[in-house]
Amino acid sequence: MDRDSQFIGQSSAFLDAVERASRAAPMRRPVLVIGERGTGKELIAERLHRLSTRWDEPLVTMNCAALPETLIEAELFGHEAGAFTGATRVRAGRFEEADKGTLFLDELGTLSMAAQERLLRAVEYGEVTRIGSSRPIRVDVRIVAATNENLPELAERGEFRADLLDRLSFEVITLPPLRVREGDVEVLAEYFGRRMAAELHWEGWPGFAEHVARQLEDHAWPGNVRELRNVVERAVYRWDSWHEPIGHVQFDPFDSPWKPFSPSTRKAQTGAASPAAPARQGGLDLDTVEDLRAEVDAHERRIVEHALGKHRWNQRQTARALGLTYDQLRHCIKKHGLMEGE
């Protein structure tokens, strides 16, 4: 695998999913890979193929959500010349291209019911028929499918064929989201940070400041590993001092005081506009507060740390951004024991 196809992590939930994929790889049976966006479903599909006896045969990928419903069947099963408007020549489908190898169907839950019916026959009998032809073609294809949908629930509502689900679910590998992979955020952030530093030809890797590492750990990561990679690489490339720890990270790249508003938002904010809310650095359960002064001090420290990192420890700019005088900011820094380069 190339460096973009590596599995990085140490949590038991993640390692269990990888181990299950390794055990299922030699089997000829279909596998379903379930997980949120950015959890690595395509990497698992590649692992299933590379560790199988089909490793030297084609691995063909098709994103079922990337094509209009009218073209999905033609893409999967191929078509004869003249089968429909625009079909000027014979075209083999993805099943034929993946013969003797693996067909990876991403976003399986978006398939139309008609495509599901034809897919069921292909899985059941190992035969596909091009659109416009009456002659079935034998294929030997191992199917790996992925989705972030709850397929059993869709089947109960009649939005996904239950018999197709039965055929495809010999093994189901559910990938854990990053927020439950204990310890993996730190490992992944270091990996992506070092790689970006090397790409920028930095002379060394300074690591992350303590408050940045804490922010990375506290973030919910709705986009999982893909989001973490973007956040870390963006923070590294925006940081100019390779010999100082990364002191600022921006989770939302669209966050800007000048970002455009949708018409509905602009209408709602007509009149007395409320000031923009500061970025949250993790939630606080009010029922658990036992020491008000300690909680207030901790919250103040997080705000000052974040602002200092954002302004690269320019204390005068930080003071202006927080609405403080220079002396007031210096008092906060001394009060919380903050030292430049932490």
> pLDDT tens across 231-240, in order?
999 999 999 8
Say yes or no to pLDDT of 268 above 60: no
Say yes or no to pLDDT of 271 above 60: no
Q: CB-based burial of residue 225 (10 Å sphere; 0-12 exposed, 13-18 middle, 19+ buried)?
A: buried
Per-residue model confidence as pLDDT tens digits over 214-261: 999 999 999 999 999 999 999 999 998 889 999 999 999 988 777 787
Mean of the pLDDT values across residues 144-156?
96
Residue 267: the pLDDT is: 57
Q: Is 248 in contact with 312 (CB distance < 8 Å)?
A: yes
Of the candidates 52, 50, 53, 43, the residue with the CA atom closest to the CA atom of residue 14: 43
Q: Which residues pair with 131 in a beta bridge?
A: 79
For residue 55, give Cα distances in angstroms to 20, 67, 106, 312, 332.
Answer: 18, 27, 19, 49, 60
Mean of the pLDDT values across residues 176-199?
96
Q: Is 221 helix (H, G, I), strand (E, B) or coil?
A: coil
Q: Is 103 in contact with 144 (CB distance < 8 Å)?
A: yes
* 68/8 Cα distance (integer angstroms): 35
* 206/246 Cα distance (integer angstroms): 7
For each of the domains in the chain, give its residue range(s) and CATH number, in order of start: 3-176 (3.40.50.300), 180-255+289-335 (1.10.8.60)
Residue 265: the pLDDT is: 57
Of the candidates 116, 78, 121, 113, the residue with the CA atom closest to the CA atom of residue 97: 78
Q: Is 305 in contact with 248 (CB distance < 8 Å)?
A: no
Which residues are CB-contacts of 341 (< 8 A; sequence separation ≥ 6)?
A: 209, 244, 245, 313
Residue 270: the pLDDT is: 52
Q: For the chain, give me the number of helices (H) and strands (E)?
A: 14, 9
Per-residue model confidence as pLDDT tens digits over 74-126: 889 988 887 777 777 888 989 999 999 999 999 999 998 988 998 998 999 99
Q: Which of 17-21, 28-32, 139-143, 321-325 bottoms out in mean pLDDT, i.e. has the lowest?
A: 321-325
Residue 175: the pLDDT is: 96
Per-residue model confidence as pLDDT tens digits over 45-80: 999 999 999 999 999 999 998 888 778 888 899 888
What does R_g of the chain's alpha carbons equal in angstroms? Answer: 26
Mean of the pLDDT values across residues 8-31?
95
Q: Is 221 in contact with 227 (CB distance < 8 Å)?
A: yes
Which runs of consecutive H residues, i.e. helices, occur in the chain? Answer: 12-24, 41-50, 69-77, 94-97, 113-125, 151-156, 162-168, 184-199, 210-218, 224-238, 263-268, 292-310, 315-322, 326-335
Give the HSE-up count for residue 258: Cα atoms under 13 Å, Cβ half-sphere. 0
